[in-house]
Amino acid sequence: MLVGAVDIYTNHAVVVLGATAFPEVEHDDSAATADDRHVVVRTRGQAAPTRVSIWSRDMPYLGPVVFDGELDLMDHTLWVGDIERLTSYTTKVLDSPGVQRVVVRVDDPGHASLIHVGLDLDTEVTTLRPVPGHRPGPRSDPMSDQ
């Protein structure tokens, strides 16, 4: 179930997901890096806002998984924002504070414009395979092709 969504505009090409405490994770050129409380996802940066969708107990199987692990989320809170903490979004989404399994999927690893964050998921995560020649993502309006 979708429990939150936000468009984040960043000066740097990263979005931080995790606890409300300041992240100490050092980001690099990989699609995502993490410590025990945060995941840093590489995005398009200033090209356009990045859409972050937060899911509980179920999530879309679109895009590759760039993080599947445990994060210590204090106070039932998930924080989403930029590395400079100029833009941020917080939401209380968890039934219990502490260590939680978090799954992060993106539309384009290393240049994400869509990020899906899954909480309280089953132990098995699958991925839908795209149709050859088509990227996974929102459906376009069929009337716009005419």
DSSP line for 68-126: EEEEEEGGGEEEEE-TTSSSEEEEE--SS-EEEEEEEEESSTTSBSEEEEEES--S---
Residue 41: closest CA among 127, 112, 90, 99: 112
- What confidence tier does 139 reach under pLDDT thresholds 50, 70, 90? very low
Which is higher by pLDDT, 137 or 68?
68
Which is higher by pLDDT, 112 or 136?
112
Residue 74: closest CA among 30, 29, 38: 38
Which helix (H) or strand (E) covers residue 45, if one does?
none
In the chain, the percentage of residues whose pLDDT exceeds 90 is: 32
- Give the pLDDT of residue 57: 82
Residue 102: closest CA among 115, 120, 88, 84: 120
- Give the pLDDT of residue 108: 92
Instruction: Tell whether 139 is covered by a domain.
Output: no
Query: pLDDT tens-digit profile of 20-79?
Result: 888 777 777 788 988 889 999 999 888 889 999 999 888 888 889 999 999 988 778 899
- Give the pLDDT of residue 135: 57
Instruction: Tell whether 118 is covered by a domain.
Output: yes
Domain assignment of residue 89, given as a range:
2-123
Which is higher by pLDDT, 98 or 59?
59
Q: Give the chain's domain count.
A: 1
Alpha carbon separation from 96 to 32, 71, 72, 119 (Å, rounded): 25, 13, 11, 12
Instruction: Tell whether 131 is covered by a domain.
Output: no
Look up residue 139 and give its two tokens.
Answer: 């459906």
Instruction: Tell whether 43 is covered by a domain.
Output: yes
| Domain CATH for 17 | 2.60.34.30
- Give the pLDDT of residue 125: 55
- Give the pLDDT of residue 130: 56
* Residues 115, 95: Cα–Cα separation, whole Å: 22
- Mean pLDDT computed over 86-91: 87
Angle at 104 between CA 120 and CA 70, to 5 degrees: 55
Ramachandran class of 53: left when φ > 0, alpha when ψ lies in -120 to 50, beta otherwise:
beta
Instruction: Tell whether 140 is covered by a domain.
Output: no
Instruction: Tell whether 133 is covered by a domain.
Output: no
User: pLDDT averaged over the chain?
Assistant: 81
- Give the pLDDT of residue 129: 53
Instruction: Tell whether 66 is covered by a domain.
Output: yes
- Neighbour tally for 53: CB within 10 Å: 17
Which is higher by pLDDT, 64 or 120?
64
Instruction: Tell whether 49 is covered by a domain.
Output: yes
